[in-house]
Amino acid sequence: MANPFTTFKRSRLFAAALMILLMVMAPAHCAETNPSWEVATIDGRQYVSLDSVKSAYKFTKMERSNKLVTLQNAKVSVKLNVGGQECLMNGVKFVLSHGIEISNGKPYVSQIDLAKLIDPVLRPNYIKNAGDFRTVILDPGHGGSDTGASNTLGYEAFYNLKVAGLVKSQLESKGFKVIMTRNSNVFVSLQGRVDIANAVKDEAIFVSIHFNSGGSHARGIETFTLSPPSVPHYGSGIKESDFATRMVTNTILQTSP
């Protein structure tokens, strides 16, 4: 986002960690035990009708207005655009791997997006093989000669490290073991970050922290995860010299053995 540090306050330093914790602790969204799925093959890819999604996840209504499709109940609102890949769930924007398609007059979502994105967000407590972890690897992006984005108040690398340090303190107070890829203003290559992560033998998650540049109207938190197999991702062709990258986490994970 433009001028990423101008309105930065201490309370916001914890926003990312707090949002993640709230999502993890949120009550599971209701869904049918054995739903009946209406499936179609479109361009060689499996899709599921949004009518099926409405029934399976017990949405009380589905509305269509031009290209906008809205699924809603008392607690959850999901908005999708036919032909588009953006999905708003309770106002939080997610990017689907494939666009919403129409078949026989009905809107469909790709099966992989339903399984790998929509279902885990709606029902986090039902994620299979999620496992337990007590170790978190925090990766403050950039550092040293690689300053990242900048404005009149400073450089991204500094704020990445500051946020990582605050999150580290919060996690450790909850009993987590925290490993940092850097603890000072030094340059660590992408491969170096991979090596640090791969050296951890405990069950762990890897979180890379960045302040990306963007348009003047950009707000909020942008999160990237590892793309499902065979699905294109935003990080194709990324180089270490790319200061405005949005895919450092994805690149690191995909270069791991």
Whether 68 and 79 have beta carbons less than 8 Å apart is answered as yes
Same domain, 142 and 211: yes
Tell whether 2 is covered by a domain: no
Same domain, 227 and 197: yes
End-to-end CA distance of the chain: 33
Residue 157, helix vs strand vs coil: helix
As a whole number of angstroms, the distance between CA 210 and CA 152 comes to 18
Same domain, 90 and 151: no
Amino acid identity, position 240: E
Strand 92-95 and strand 68-72: the pairing is unpaired
Q: If we measure between CA atoms, which residue out of 166, 164, 167 comes closest to residue 181?
A: 164
Q: Which of 122, 148, 182 is the last residue of a domain?
A: 122
As a whole number of angstroms, the distance between CA 11 and CA 59 comes to 35
Task: Note down the domain range covering 47.
Answer: 39-122
Tell whether 33 is covered by a domain: no
Same domain, 80 and 158: no
Whether 125 and 23 have beta carbons less than 8 Å apart is answered as no
Tens of pLDDT, residue by residue, the chain (257 residues) = 333 333 333 334 344 444 444 444 344 455 555 568 999 999 999 999 999 999 999 999 999 999 999 999 999 999 999 999 999 999 999 999 999 999 999 999 999 999 999 999 998 888 777 778 999 999 999 999 999 999 888 999 999 999 999 999 999 999 999 999 999 999 999 999 999 999 999 999 999 999 988 777 877 888 888 777 777 665 544 444 333 333 333 333 333 33
Same domain, 118 and 136: no
Same domain, 118 and 165: no
Same domain, 217 and 237: yes
Same domain, 163 and 229: yes
Tell whether 212 is covered by a domain: yes
H/E run at residue 197: helix 190-198
In this prediction, residue 43 carries a pLDDT of 93
**Whole-Å CA distances, 193 to 103, 190, 199:** 45, 5, 10
Q: What is the CATH number of the domain that holds 67?
A: 3.30.457.10
In this prediction, residue 79 carries a pLDDT of 98
Same domain, 167 and 249: yes
Helices 156-173 & 15-25, crossing angle to 10 degrees?
A: 40
Domain count, the chain: 2
In this prediction, residue 226 carries a pLDDT of 78
In this prediction, residue 147 carries a pLDDT of 96
As a whole number of angstroms, the distance between CA 169 and CA 85 comes to 36
Tell whether 150 is covered by a domain: yes
Residue owning tokens 């984005």: 149
Q: Which of 122, 151, 174 is the last residue of a domain?
A: 122
Tell whether 198 is covered by a domain: yes
Same domain, 99 and 135: no
What backbone phi and psi angles, to 5 degrees, belong to 178? -120, 130
Helix ranges (H only) for 6-76 are: 10-13, 15-25, 50-56
As a whole number of angstroms, the distance between CA 146 and CA 166 comes to 22
Whether 186 and 143 have beta carbons less than 8 Å apart is answered as yes
Q: Which of 122, 141, 168 is the last residue of a domain?
A: 122
